[in-house]
Structure 1
Amino acid sequence: MCHIAHLQHAMGGVHWMSSSRPAPLLTASPVRALIDEQINIEGCFLSPNCPVTVCAQMHSEDGDLWESFAHYVAKADGTISLTRDESVGGSYLGCEPMGLLWSLQPAPGGRLGLRLRKKNVETPYVVHMSLLEGHVSPSKSQSTWLAAVTAERWYMAPGVQRIEIRQDGLVGTLFLPPGQGQFSAMLDLWGLGGGLVEYRSALFASKGYASLSLAYVVHEDLPGPKKRVNIGDSYFKAAFQLFKIIIKSVPTELGSSGSALESYPRWRRVEDVECPLLYVLGEDDQSVPNKENADLVEVTLNAAGKSHLFTRLPYPGAGHLIEPPYAPNARRPLYKVEPNKLFAHFGGHHALHAAAQEDCWRKMLAFMESHLR
């Protein structure tokens, strides 16, 4: 019996045997994966053509419950596959292999304005998925629980090193890929929401890049008022120089990367850049005039004879914050609470935003592979 239990755990599913036929089984493969990796979610040993609901639930690091669900109809052989089959109702519609994850939203009755943002990249998101009888809404009704499986979603691959940087006034976190040798490198900067955001850098390092996530506003270790940018060009240049020292040597392939960092528009006019620029544009961005900004950059580079350096990635229906794949979209997150609550309008239609994130991440990695390796 212990051997059966171990086998079921290795398969990524939990179910019990009945005397007549195998009980329903829900599997996820692999059960441990990086956040940008697709997993295969399947159910089997169901009654032919029966309606079922697949539900996902997880808690954020702040303890808030997020959930999603989708309605499926089992095939004649008693199986469902999220990679093959279409959802006919619930949090999303159609064939969406990772829909259960990108459609996660705060559970009804929870706090308003939540945004799912990983703080501790050394731990995974733990997603509990269950298979329910019938087409139901898990939050509103009780249903027969048929099977369940748990999956781990990581931003940091095994072997990635995380190194805190507090030197010469710099505030950041360095992530180094597993193994020895020279790594292509990047400086990872976020927007004016501020703080020290690490999860994208951790994922970059998991893909083989040395990545330094750098804080420059809204951080307690930075000088001056917390909500004001009190550092100048020298701060970013110092970060780049320290970066080169830490990784000991910069490979020749980093020539374009060095130009990109030293020519960052914070301290140079955009027409002075000599490096390729990738501009990601969510066309349903309700927060900033994204399209107008992209047009201005493109016109300026065209006038300077540098149109070949500019690549625009427009995504109709995508909102402001285009994350790594399968992250839930927050259309109206809480931006600040003092002195009054302020909600941001990020926009984005969930399915279109999810498709944009998946496509953008693939093209961003290809762009880096082309110019940094």
Structure 2
Amino acid sequence: MIQLQVTPETSLADTPVKIHVCGLAPAQLVTLQASLTDERGVQFQARAFYYADEAGEVDVEQAAAVGGDYVGVWPMGLFWFLKPEKLFYRLMRRDVMSGPFCIQLDLFDSCQPFPSPQVVPLATCTLERWYVSPGVERVPIKEGRVRGALFLPPGPGPFPGVIDMFGGAGGLIEFRAGLLASQGFAVLALAFFAYDDLPRVLVEMDMEYFEEAADLLLKHPKVRGPGLGVIGVSKGAEVTLAMAAFLKQVVAAVWINGMSFLYGNPLRYRGVHIPHIPYCPEKMLITETGALDNYHVFKDPRDPAHVAAAIPVEKAQAEVLFVVGEADRNFNSKLFAELAIERMKSHGKKNYTLLSYPGAGHLIEPPGSPLCSISGIRGSPRPVHWGGEPEAHAKAQEHSWQEILKFLKRHLGPTSNM
């Protein structure tokens, strides 16, 4: 009897699963296919072809895919290589509390590049991929000027606190906060524009807003101080670095593919004003796919005329983890990380760590997320090119996520009291 087994069938989205097939004929060629439909009704699929071993089994942890969406040994390949049926869609859980992504796994006989509804699978199963573990609580935040959502692990705490931010699309994105809370952190998913009654566009980086958010998190009875962590990607990483430089509350900062100079928006904080470098929209390119390539929109920060726009990262007392995708097409994040580290070194600072990944793109996310190299974004007239190569990006996400978790636990303290 042919059996398709997935262990565990219910898990967090960043957790590996084991896929095993038995009951096949020796050397039988089969297709494994993963399918899910997101909250917008867009279907994502991945498929790979495998030969059964002499015992008539396929163990995806050890067997090499011989074709499909990837080749070689990729235990989580059916998740990492999911592709949308429509161009330029990003797989992202928007309402993490409403339930999991349900992924259907089908096993087909022989090579089935595009199985039709008339093709009956040899075996099938459904698994759940959650972005919050049981007992995690989501609390909407609308206090003072601060807007966002607080994710609290189950139990009395206190838990180490983290502020989580995303980038230039604005709004509130919560899936990473849910996963971090599932690891034992109290996480404030923080919006800073284009959400609720916040400004629709980002005019300036008001550090007093982020200081208010830090104080709000630290005063919560389930949050363990005295310091907190911050994690951000893209524009959120720019904010993260500025928070590390100016706010004493921040003791650990994770910067993912951001900038170390102010672009598009000046910074203000208690009488301090840092000017910004204006964008060069005339250098925007349109790729053959019709997507925007913004790589050259950002003026060279090494120009002496722009030195005043540098974030004074040498002031940071926090430990800073720089996570770089070297194939980032949004901007040269590797250069920005190197310039920040060079500035820290020149002031005798050693409170930095660099993780740099060849082939990884802009959107480095937890490992349950497939590569999104192009997607639409709020406020952009066309989809935006993020870059990245599927295999290298998948490995970067797997490695960097574990390093981020270790970094936060090392500098914020243990999470074992959840």
- TM-score interval for Structure 1 and Structure 2 normalised by the shorter chain: 0.7 to 0.9
Distance 1:94 1:141, change over 3 A: farther
Corresponding residue of 1:7: none
Corresponding residue of 1:284: 327
**2:347 equivalent among 276, 279, 304:** 304
Determine which structure has the larger strand proportion and give its number: 2
Report the CA distance between 1:135 and its aligned residue.
Answer: 1.0
- Are the counterparts in 1 of residues 229 and 252 from structure 2 also a CA contact under 8 Å? no
Instruction: Report Cα offsets for 1:150-173 as digits up to 9, x if no partner.
Output: 010011000111100011121110
Instruction: Report Cα offsets for 1:266-309 as digits up to 9, x if no partner.
Output: 65621100111000000000111111101110111011110x11
Report the CA distance between 1:228 and its aligned residue.
Answer: 2.6
Corresponding residue of 1:321: 363
Alignment gaps of 5+ in structure 1: 1-21
Distance 1:220 1:56, change over 3 A: same
Secondary structure of 1:187's counterpart equals strand
Question: Superposition RMSD on alpha carbons, in Å?
Answer: 2.1
State how far apart, in whole Å, the 1-side matches of 2:400 and 2:84 are.
25
State how far apart, in whole Å, the 2-side matches of 1:158 and 1:295 are.
40
Corresponding residue of 2:250: 261
Identity of aligned residues (%): 35
Corresponding residue of 1:369: 409
Write the mapping of 1:117-132 to structure 2, written as runs, cut at 5 A: 117-122=92-97, 123-132=99-108
Alignment gaps of 5+ in structure 2: 231-246, 254-259, 261-266, 270-310, 414-418
Corresponding residue of 1:159: 135
Corresponding residue of 1:74: 52
Distance 1:342 1:47, change over 3 A: same
Distance 1:190 1:337, change over 3 A: closer
Instruction: Report Cα offsets for 1:175-225 as digits up to 9, x if no partner.
Output: 1111112111111111122110111111111001111010002223213xx
Corresponding residue of 1:334: 376
Report the CA distance between 1:316 and its aligned residue.
Answer: 0.4
1:351 aligns with 2:391: yes
Write the mapping of 1:203-222 to structure 2, written as runs, cut at 5 A: 203-222=179-198
Report the CA distance between 1:67 and its aligned residue.
Answer: 0.3
Corresponding residue of 1:19: none
Q: TM-score under structure 1 normalisation?
A: 0.87
Instruction: Report Cα offsets for 1:226-273 as digits up to 9, x if no partner.
Output: 123466111111111111222356345x37887463898865621100
Write the mapping of 1:148-297 to structure 2, written as runs, cut at 5 A: 148-223=124-199, 226-229=200-203, 232-247=206-221, 250-251=224-225, 254=227, 259=248, 261=250, 269-297=312-340
Corresponding residue of 2:16: 38
1:100 aligns with 2:82: no
State how far apart, in whole Å, the 1-side matches of 2:161 and 2:252 are.
15
Report the CA distance between 1:351 and its aligned residue.
Answer: 1.0
State how far apart, in whole Å, the 1-side matches of 2:391 and 2:64 are.
14
Distance 1:322 1:263, change over 3 A: closer
Report the CA distance between 1:138 and its aligned residue.
Answer: 2.4
Letter of the 2:206 counterpart: G
Report the CA distance between 1:141 and its aligned residue.
Answer: 8.7
State how far apart, in whole Å, the 1-side matches of 2:368 and 2:392 are.
12
State how far apart, in whole Å, the 1-side matches of 2:390 and 2:71 are.
11
